[in-house]
Amino acid sequence: MNVTLNTETQMIKASEILSWTNDTRFPANELRFHLYWNAFQNNMSTYLTESARRGRSVSGFREENWGHCRVELIKIVKNLYFNDYDLMPFMEFQSPDDENLYDQTVFSVTLPQAVEPGQTILLSIEFESKVPRPISRTGVYKDYYFIAQWFPKIGVFEDGRWNCHQYHSSSEYYADYGTYDVKITLPSSFIVGGTGEHQEIIDNRDGTTTHHFHQHSVHDFAWTASLRFLEYKENFEFAPGKITEITLLLQPQHKKLKDRYLNAVKNAIKYCSLFYGDYPYTTATCVDPAYNSGSGGMEYPTFFTGGAYFLTRKGMSSPEGVTIHEFGHGYFYGLVGSNEFENAWMDEGFTSFLDSEVYYTAYGNPLYSRSYFGIPFTFKNVEIPIESSGISGHRQTYNMDEMQRFAWEFLEGGSYGANSYSKAELMLRTLKRFMGKDLFSRMIKDYSQRFWFKHPRPQDFYTVVSEHAGQDMSWFLDQFVYGSEKLDYAIGTISSQRVRQPQGWFDGEYINRQIKDSRYQSEVIVRRLGEVKLPVDVLVVFEDGEEIRETWDGQYRWKKFTYQKPSRISKAVVDPEFKLVLDINQTNNSMMRKPNKLAPFKWVSNWMAWLQHALEFLTILGG
């Protein structure tokens, strides 16, 4: 692909040769392509219509702010199977998802003859793209260009049909693997980064420079250019003999965050390699996005954006959290090429799980933080445990949708986010604790590596889990993937009373024992308050220190455990090892014989001190 960026007009002109091989068992009579940037050519596109429904408008867009991608030429180039043939007359826009006639984000070309299984077709394509104002993590802001989803991208041909959805407001992407060889020409003053190896920089001696990128086995190509980047490069040996070149393109105001960014990338490569298989690429480029560019927190193969605030503090998870997350997408969606349109949880959920596993392994618990006047403060006594990751979002949206939905078919953006990111992360963490760390680690690494450069579907994940668990795990996974019920086990009651002595008439004999039995009759009732059914452990602790562990299949609504012991129950805990992180109410998982009286006093006195101070502050407004 030869690309020229005109920074005066903010236009990209490009020509490319696309070689596409039909590696399925079905003939392809047509080809389908995405033209994502056409979502930004008017406000009637499906993307912007859906965005407007969610309150995001483009009312501030001026004439020059809109973007587009126009195919100016598409023709077959002669090869073993095909002759030269102009496909332009057969180009047609398609709206497979919503029949929106204004949407031009997918087009098809009917072929003069089918591409039979195993055959390769060569296409010559010329296109022109207008870089939009920053939107959907692409575009131009002043002299900062972040160029993603910018070229006609061929869809995925599978099962005899094209999987090529329109661009939706809350969905990401799906594409086939290939080799990208891209030459980008632009003014020499720009610092450029992109997917893959930056093989060559050629000075054209006319004020422009051509940057040559090459990468095999990726399903996308994105790039960035800016006059202001600080560029840092480091080779990192993440495993014996395995080296990746890390490039960091940093905003000048974040210079002091250089080491934090680089360490985050190194930790991400190191732990992802350990948990999910050795990172197979020779480069990893992290871009610190420009302020106002809206390009932060996004992933592309070998190339991703972080995000940071210049006053971030030690103990806060920025920029590490987002950096690890976006690098992690290099595995789940990058290497394991799931369909983000149809199975968003398989990339976002897996990556959310990955990022918290890596983050907590590398850095431990982050601290709670809050900004005052734009200055972040951390609270050293308030650590955020890994179990809290995602649970709040899930708690508030669990019954809105099932996790397995097309990305644009969720009730609202919050439900898409909570189901695709949080619930899937929580499901994986629950599965990890349910299966055991070692077994789960082998399973997830196997799943990852088995589907590198492939397109797994939910059933593929089911198969791998079941293989490793040694049983069909659908009963477990179905409840979360295709269910929208809550998981909530609770201790209903605990009680301990002296063992009752016989009193009254027994077979004609009157008995009235006055001697008290020193033993206690104790009872624990565990309840299932949600519809999700999982086996749970129950821990019962007695006042003399004795502990009893029980297991309940969790099927019926409640289960009673009774004991006769020399001392009373001190406490009972359902799920004492905190395996079920999807349980939306952890507070009711335990019950003690006596409530802790100090806690409410301690916290209300702290809260009251705040209130007293607030009232005194308010006197500034009075006498």
Whole-angstrom distance, CA of residue 349 vs CA of residue 345: 5
Q: Which amino acid is at 31?
A: L
Examine residue 577 and tell whether it contacts other proteins (CB under 8 A).
no
Q: Write each residue from 108 to 147 as x if it is in contact with other proteins (CB under 8 A), else as -, in one continuous string.
A: ----------------------------------x-x---
- Which of these segments, 69-77, 234-242, 342-350, 605-613, binds other proteins (CB under 8 A)? 605-613
Examine residue 391 and tell whether it contacts other proteins (CB under 8 A).
yes
Examine residue 65 and tell whether it contacts other proteins (CB under 8 A).
no
- Which of these segments, 11-19, 199-207, 378-386, 428-436, binds other proteins (CB under 8 A)? 378-386
Examine residue 291 and tell whether it contacts other proteins (CB under 8 A).
yes
Examine residue 591 and tell whether it contacts other proteins (CB under 8 A).
yes
- Segment 220 to 249, residues that bind other proteins, using CB under 8 A: 228
What Cα–Cα distance (Å) separates residue 240 from each residue in 282, 302, 328? 14, 21, 21
Examine residue 589 and tell whether it contacts other proteins (CB under 8 A).
yes
- Segment 328 to 347, residues that bind other proteins, using CB under 8 A: none
Q: What is the DSSP string of 28-41?
A: EEEEEEE-GGGGGS
- Which of these segments, 207-215, 261-269, 452-460, 591-599, binds other proteins (CB under 8 A)? 591-599
CB atoms near residue 43 (< 10 Å): 16
Examine residue 609 and tell whether it contacts other proteins (CB under 8 A).
yes
Examine residue 603 and tell whether it contacts other proteins (CB under 8 A).
yes
Q: Which amino acid is at 125?
A: I
Q: In the set 8, 63, 438, 616, which binds other proteins (CB under 8 A)?
A: 616
Examine residue 6 and tell whether it contacts other proteins (CB under 8 A).
no
Q: What angle do CA 602, 603, 605 make, to 5 degrees?
A: 70
By C-beta, is 314 or 500 nearer to other proteins? 314
By C-beta, is 395 or 445 nearer to other proteins? 395
- Segment 346 to 375, residues that bind other proteins, using CB under 8 A: 368, 370, 372-375
Q: In the set 377, 475, 482, 556, which binds other proteins (CB under 8 A)?
A: 377
Examine residue 61 and tell whether it contacts other proteins (CB under 8 A).
no
R_g (Cα) of the chain, nearest Å: 30
Where residue 394 falls (left for φ over 0; alpha for ψ -120 to 50; beta otherwise) is: alpha
Token pair listed for 188? 């020499």
Examine residue 518 and tell whether it contacts other proteins (CB under 8 A).
no
Q: In the set 21, 23, 79, 310, which binds other proteins (CB under 8 A)?
A: 310
Token pair listed for 321? 């959290």
Beta strands in 331-374 (DSSP E): 367-372
Q: How far is the CB of 583 from other proteins (least distance, A)?
A: 10
Contacts of 390 (CB under 8 A, 6+ apart): 352, 418, 421, 422, 423, 425, 426
Q: How many residues bind other proteins (CB under 8 A)?
A: 73
Q: In the set 395, 486, 533, 568, which binds other proteins (CB under 8 A)?
A: 395
User: Of 545, 548, 527, 524, which is closest to residue 536 (Cα–Cα)?
Assistant: 527
Q: Is the peptide bond before 319 cis (omega within 30 degrees of 0)?
A: yes
Q: What is the DSSP string of 133-186?
A: SSBTTBEEETTEEEE-S-S-EE-EEETTEEE-PPP-TT-------EEEEEEEEE
Q: In the set 455, 468, 571, 579, which binds other proteins (CB under 8 A)?
A: 571
Contact 553, 518 (CB under 8 A): no
Examine residue 586 and tell whether it contacts other proteins (CB under 8 A).
yes
